[in-house]
Amino acid sequence: MLDQTEGYTTADGRKIGPVVMEMKNITLRFGGVEAIKDISFDIREGEIRAIIGPNGAGKSSMLNVISGFYVPQEGQVFYQGQPRPPMKPYQVARQGIARTFQNIALFEGMTVLDNVMTGRLTHMHTGLFWQSMWKGKAEAEETVNREVAEKIIDFLEIQAIRKTPVSRLPYGLKKRVELARALAAEPSLLLLDEPMAGMNVEEKEDMSRFILDVNDEFGTTIALIEHDMGVVMDLSDRVVVMDYGKKIGDGTPDEVRGNQAVIDAYLGVAHD
């Protein structure tokens, strides 16, 4: 098994750091439904961690627990070594956690650039008054933020749609814009909710490349939920497998692939 404190080195030579986020015995209920049952796992610095499972396995609920949107009834979330109290989404964002959504939550009427700039909100400190005056510190601040936004636009190769309203873009590009907005926050932990849902093979390949590049270039820790087994196995360092709210597997893609419980969950067996 893996060393608890030091981290490890991946097959392709990347250094994975210590645990940044730890879920301990998380149980989440909605009324009488137990969406997550006593799940524990951790996310290490610099790794790509995937959560997979069939429909209704509780993946999105898990991501919402990580992002602080849901507060579990039982168990504790540790972030950077500290137990995390219930928080508002903006507080989570300030902690350096950014996310994308399964159903795309962009500002449709705004341009791509403006959408990406909204990702910089947590980095803006001047007040409404000075921003509306466009003077002094506010101007300098926007210049810096625009620079960050432009670097991300360049990184994700969306220069050509910089000034295009989001509503005019096709689905695959919207997904990319959403990733851009999340990256603009310069997160230390990036949560991706089904980044490849509804994409064709080519778009999936592009997105996979961007996810790997983000991890490689910015050293961002990435936790992602995905449906598509093939993509996940190629992309992630470690995988958590969920089924019916329970954790049925956890480990490297190879370990998970050989796990009988996982095979059963994906290929199906008779449930008595």
Partner 1 sequence: MSCVEGLLRQPLRVWEENTLTKTLEGADGLTSIPALLHRNATKFADAPAYREKEFGIWQSWSWSEALEEIEALALGMIDLGVAEGDFVAVIGRNRPRLYWAMMSAQMCGAIPVPLYNDAAAEEMTYTLGHCGAKYVIAGDQEQVDKVMEIQEHLPQFEEMIYLDARGLRKYDHDKLRSYAQVQETGRARRDDLIADMKARIAKLDYDSTAVMLYTSGTTGNPKGVVLSNRNVIETSRTSSEFDHLRQSDDILAYLPMAWVGDFIFSVGQALWTGYCTNCPESPETMMTDLREIGPTYYFAPPRVFETQLTNVMIRMEDASKLKKRMFDHFMAHARKVGPALLDGKPVGFMDRMKYKLGDLLVYAPLKNTLGFTRVRVGYTAGEAIGPEIFDFYRSLGINLKQLYGQTEATVYITAQPDGEVRSDTVGVVCPGVELKINDTGEVYYRSPGVFVEYYKNPESTADTKDAEGWVATGDAGFIEPDTGHLRIIDRAKDVGKMADGSLFAPKYVENKLKFYPNILEAVVFGNGRDECTAFINIDLTAVSNWAERNNIAYASYQELAGHPQVLATIQSHVEETNRSVAEDEMLSGCQVHRFVVLHKELDADDGELTRTRKVRRKKIEEKFHDIITALYDGSTQISTVTEVTYEDGRKGAIKATLEIRTAAVEKVTTRMAAE
Residue 185 Cβ vs partner 1, minimum distance, rounded to whole Å: 18
Site string for partner 1, 1-40 (x = CB under 8 A): -----------xxx--------------------------
Q: Applying CB under 8 A, does 216 fall inside the site for partner 1?
A: yes
What are the CA-CA distances from residue 252 to residues 1, 61, 147, 163, 190 (Å)? 10, 22, 37, 41, 20
With CA atoms as reference, report the closest residue to 265 among 63, 49, 61, 58. Answer: 58
- Using DSSP's 3-state secondary structure scheme, residue 135 falls into coil
Residue 92 Cβ vs partner 1, minimum distance, rounded to whole Å: 29
Do residues 96 and 189 touch, judged by C-beta distance below 8 A? Answer: yes
Q: Applying CB under 8 A, does 150 fall inside the site for partner 1?
A: yes
Q: Applying CB under 8 A, does 162 fall inside the site for partner 1?
A: yes
Give the binding range for partner 1 (CB under 8 A) out of 85-93, 142-150, 244-252, 261-269: 142-150
Residue 207 Cβ vs partner 1, minimum distance, rounded to whole Å: 15
Instruction: Give the contacts of 232 (CB within 8 A, at least 6 positions apart).
Output: 50, 52, 224, 226, 239, 253
With CA atoms as reference, report the closest residue to 157 among 176, 178, 183. Answer: 176
Q: Applying CB under 8 A, does 227 fall inside the site for partner 1?
A: no
By beta-carbon proximity to partner 1, the closer residue of 148 and 225 is: 148
Q: Applying CB under 8 A, does 234 fall inside the site for partner 1?
A: no
